[in-house]
Amino acid sequence: MSAGLAISIAILVFVLITIAKGVRLVAQGEEWVVERLGKYHSTLRPGLNILIPYLDNVAYKLVTKDIILDVQEQEVITRDNAVILTNAIAFVKVTDPVKAVYGVTDFSEAIRNLIMTTLRSIVGEMELDEALSSRDKIKARLRESIADEAVDWGLTVKSVEIQDIKPSESMQRAMELQAAAERERKAAVTKAEGAKQAAILEAEARLESAKRDANAQVMLAEASAEAIRRVTSAVGDQTAPMLYLLGEKYIASMQALGQADGSKVVVLPADLQNALKGLIGRA
């Protein structure tokens, strides 16, 4: 190979490299930060861009599409000293590439750590029950708290979602024991209330029964008194009807006494008429 050919090839390679360094094609969804002699010079937008070879250098290539940042699970202590586990996921977008590369060393790690510390702060101000039931509230406060910092880093926080928020294993065991104790307490209260109501109903039933018995006794006494008055009014000074009625009752009683299993001998008075007169107090 002659020296002239070698020089021609070297010049051709140099030209190709120079063109490659000077002509840059940026894909859609990306922006490139260009430095000239170590200092920020410009930002290349999607499409064909021309640089000054060997003076301009593409220092950073940034994705301008939404970036998904997974925030690792961490332990958080609530205001009532309960330990819960929580993690999140953030959707951010690079809106100012210059701030994103020169405002912070690693904007992804910065946002991730900012979300973790802010999440601990927000949950630490809540009681356990409030923290477990206020996911939307936590999300809103979290996004609001980190928005200003993100702007300083050339980022826009599109959304922050709480993936999971739950008690730690030890806290779950304690809550299960507490729930079991609460169920037992409610069962005991329910049983006691049932016994109380049963006792009240039983007492009310006895009272009602006693009232009814008393009313029945009064009615029977009134009926007996009325019967006696009517008999007395009907009989007057006549003893024969009275003796007849008493005789019937006497005979019926003797008959029932004679039919009883324990009665073997029934003794009747010899003079039934005189006996009946003795019952009514007349000679």
pLDDT tens-digit series, residues 83-129: 888 889 999 999 999 999 998 888 899 999 999 999 989 988 888 88
Q: Which domains does the chain have, with CATH numbers?
A: 3-63 (no CATH), 67-167 (3.30.479.30), 238-283 (no CATH)
Query: What is the rounded CA–CA span in Å between residue 137 and residue 129?
Result: 13
Query: What is the rounded CA–CA span in Å between residue 208 and residue 219?
Result: 16
Q: Are 268 and 254 in contact (CB under 8 A)?
A: yes
Confidence band of 18 (pLDDT split at 50, 70, 90): confident
Mean pLDDT of 189-215: 85
Q: Give the pLDDT confidence score for residue 10 in this predicted structure.
A: 80
Share of the chain above pLDDT 90, in %: 17
Core vs surface per residue 93-103: b (16+ CB within 10 A) or e = ebebbebbbee
DSSP-derived pairing of the beta strands 83-94 and 155-167: antiparallel
Mean pLDDT of 72-87: 87
Query: What is the rounded CA–CA span in Å between residue 32 and residue 61?
Result: 4
Instruction: Please state, in angstroms and as integers, the Cα–Cα distance from residue 113 to each residue in 124, 143, 278, following that order.
Output: 16, 14, 117
Query: What is the rounded CA–CA span in Å between residue 107 and residue 111?
Result: 6
Residues 6+ apart with CB under 8 A from 277: 239, 243, 283
Q: Give the pLDDT confidence score for residue 250 in this predicted structure.
A: 66
Average pLDDT, the chain: 80
